[in-house]
């Protein structure tokens, strides 16, 4: 096992280009969307089956079961990504873009770093999604002149918070986002 690389020492691997990282992220989002659509389809079929084709109201148990099924896509996506990072070093999107996840010394990230990164990346993606939804609602309310000041402020603060993580990729030479810094990882090009 290679010794740990001090923070002041230059990287042993060149960082992945920003365009490749963005493409890999979008591909991984498409995989996550596939998981979400499958989970939502299962939830809808469960409600349809328990309501006898929509002729009756479904039971509370069926409704709660459908809500659980509809939200299982997020842990499924996180699990697939985590296993992929631990086993091969690449999520599906990263593999398609010939990228891999590594520690600063080039070694595989290990389960703890991969878990920390997937949790922080999921949190960043959640904040980004909420910022987009709140931003759309705030823009619609502003266009109608009905935007309350606290909602506008919340939208602006959430948008600023969502921009912090990817902003680190732009301002750092090694293109490490905030979740990479916290997890001690780096996305590199597969040689």
Check pLDDT > 60 for residue 8: no
Check pLDDT > 60 for residue 3: no
Phi, psi of 145 (to 5 degrees): 75, 25
8 Å CB contact between 132 and 124: no
User: pLDDT confidence of 11, banded at 50, 70, 90?
Assistant: low
Interior angle at CA 11, CA 106 and CA 161, nearest 5? 95
Burial of 76 by CB count in 10 Å (0-12 exposed, 13-18 middle, 19+ buried)? middle
Helix 18-50 × helix 60-71 angle, to 10°: 170
- Rounded to an integer, the average pLDDT of 34-53 is 91
Check pLDDT > 90 for residue 127: no
Interior angle at CA 11, CA 118 and CA 2, nearest 5? 80
Domain ranges of the chain: 18-189
> pTM for the complete prediction?
0.80
The pLDDT tens digits of the residues spanning 57-75 come to 988 898 999 999 999 999 9
Q: Which residues contact 140 (CB under 8 A, 6 or more apart)?
A: none
**Closest by Cα among 158, 154, 176, 156 to 167:** 176
Please report where in the chains the tokens 């079961």 appear, as a residue.
Answer: 65
8 Å CB contact between 102 and 115: no
**Closest by Cα among 152, 129, 150 to 140:** 152
């Amino acid at each position: 096992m290679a010794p740990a690389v001090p923070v002041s020492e230059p990287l042993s691997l060149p960082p992945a280009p920003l365009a490749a990282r963005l493409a890999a992220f979008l591909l991984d989002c498409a995989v996550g969307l596939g998981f979400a659509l499958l989970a939502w389809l299962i939830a809808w079929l469960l409600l349809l089956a328990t309501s006898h084709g929509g002729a009756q109201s479904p039971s509370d148990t069926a409704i709660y079961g459908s809500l659980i099924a509809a939200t299982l896509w997020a842990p499924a996506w996180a699990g697939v990504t985590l296993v992929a990072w631990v086993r091969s070093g690449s999520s599906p999107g990263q593999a398609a873009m010939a990228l891999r996840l590594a520690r600063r010394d080039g070694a595989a990230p290990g389960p703890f770093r991969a878990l920390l990164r997937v949790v922080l990346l999921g949190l960043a993606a959640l904040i980004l999604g909420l910022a987009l939804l709140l931003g759309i609602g705030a823009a619609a309310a502003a266009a109608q002149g009905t935007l309350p000041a606290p909602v506008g402020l919340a939208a602006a603060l959430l948008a600023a918070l969502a921009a912090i993580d990817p902003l680190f990729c732009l301002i750092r030479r090694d293109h490490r986002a905030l979740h990479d810094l916290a997890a001690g990882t780096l996305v590199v090009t597969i040689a």
